[in-house]
Amino acid sequence: MTDTLAHPITDSPAPPAVRVRRQTRSGAVALVVSILLLLALVTMPWWASQGLIRQIVELCCYIAIAQMWNLLAGYAGLVSVGQQAFMGVAAYFMFVLAQTWGINPFLAVVLCLLAPAVLAVPIYALLHRLDGPYFAIGTWVVAEVMRLATSNFAYVNAGAGMSLRVMSTYSADQRAIGVTLLCALMLLVTVGGSYWLLRSRYGLALTALRDNPVAAASQGVNVSRLRFMIFVAAAIGTGLAGAVYFMAQLRITPPSAFDPNWANIAIFIVMVGGIGSIEGVLIGALIYFFADRWFGDYGAIYLVVLGLLTLFMALFARGGLWGLLCKVVDAPWFPTRRTLLDSKG
């Protein structure tokens, strides 16, 4: 998998054609494994129990939300603690579309993404004036505004919340098939989409932005437009995860839809797994998923440990577990680097 880049520079002697390697053996293996896992996911209704499907749907939502946060914080330098605003808005709009307006719920999951996309534009216009840490708390305020506004909004049943009763017109099997297909679509859009984005020329710009925004701007990267694009894309991806999650839950209330705990989960997954890499998100999501199932019963003490672990990672291991692993073996699952090969080879 090599491609040749020829530089069309007219007024100087043409530079030698170079070969750039963009795929590695570990990447090819990982790609095959990913496709097999996706196939396993969509065939789950035929071999897995209802309980297992519910758990896997939750895991997929963790991965999607964390990857969107990773794109924001790890590449665009936009640290948000209010992405639950987009989850809640998309999920609520999906409930309204399906339950109140009678649109097919599986179609509604896709249509409802209009809401986070439209909402992200004015939010970014307001908040991008706040720099660094203040941007983060600004997003939190927006999520609180959405929660309080929804709690007072009679059309969506205010604080009492809504139920997705239309789902009872489908059999359990039909629901399982629909939800797992949507999950696969969600992973393709969030993880696959990020991978595609990072390998495109936007990926080069994003990597430059991650490493040094000022230097990136001086190399011709339109930093503010790129950040805006990423903010809107992350809003849509996070909204999709919200819609899928609450479709599986069948019930939504303002405190659950706009739960700040989603920010904790995303930050924990990305910081422990490794910020600025897709592999880190997958590792972090698996760790969180199993930690939550094994130690969740310890309640407060378990969350104290999660919090301290996040603190520890921020202080001593910024690159997370994937960063530590990369120091030992260089075998990326989703290679985004461009390696210059010998021009003759």
Least distance between other proteins and beta carbon 94 (Å): 24
Q: If DSSP codes are grouped into helix, strand and coil, which group holds residue 195?
A: helix
Interatomic CA distance for residues 323 and 328, integer angstroms: 9
Q: Tell me, what DSSP letter sits at residue 155? A: G
State whether residue 5 is helix, strand or coil. Answer: strand
Q: Quick one: which of 323, 237, 234, 238 has its CA closest to 272?
A: 323
Cβ at position 246, least distance to other proteins in Å:
23
**1 or 154: whose CB is closer to other proteins?**
154
Q: Which is nearer to other proteins, 2 or 152 (CB)?
A: 152
Distance CA 268, CA 143 (A): 19
- Give the residue with the Cβ less far from other proteins, 193 or 260: 260
Separation between Cα atoms, residue 142 and residue 136, nearest integer Å: 10
The nearer residue to other proteins, 34 or 256, going by C-beta atoms, is 256
Shortest Cβ 138–other proteins spacing (Å): 7
* Distance of closest approach, residue 123 Cβ to other proteins, in angstroms: 9
Per the document, the length of the chain is: 345
Place of tokens 């849509």: 236
Closest CB to other proteins among residues 149, 340? 149
Of 190, 171, 178, which Cα lies nearest the Cα of 59?
A: 190
Beta-carbon count within 10 A of 249 CB: 16
Whose Cβ is closer to other proteins: residue 74's or residue 116's? 74
Residues in CB range of 94: below 8 A, 6 or more apart: 105, 108, 109, 111, 112, 243, 246, 247
Measured from the CB atom, is 36 or 126 closer to other proteins? Answer: 126
CB closer to other proteins, 15 vs 296: 296
Nearest distance in Å: CB 306, other proteins = 7
Least Å from the CB of residue 60 to other proteins: 24
Q: How far is the CB of 183 from other proteins (least distance, A)?
A: 27
CB atoms under 10 Å from CB of 316, counted, come to 7
Residue 275 in 3-state DSSP?
A: coil
Which residues sit at the interface with other proteins, rule CB under 8 A?
73, 77, 79, 81, 126-127, 129-134, 136-138, 140-142, 144-145, 148-149, 151-152, 260, 264, 267-268, 271, 300-301, 303-315, 318
**Which C-beta is closer to other proteins: that of 129 or that of 327?**
129
H helix or E strand, kind and range, residue 20: strand 18-21
Alpha helices in the chain (DSSP H): 25-42, 44-47, 50-70, 84-95, 105-111, 114-127, 132-151, 172-187, 193-199, 201-211, 213-218, 223-249, 254-257, 261-273, 278-295, 300-316, 320-328
Tell the smallest beta-carbon distance from residue 129 to other proteins (Å). Answer: 4
The minimum distance between CB 218 and other proteins, in angstroms, equals: 17
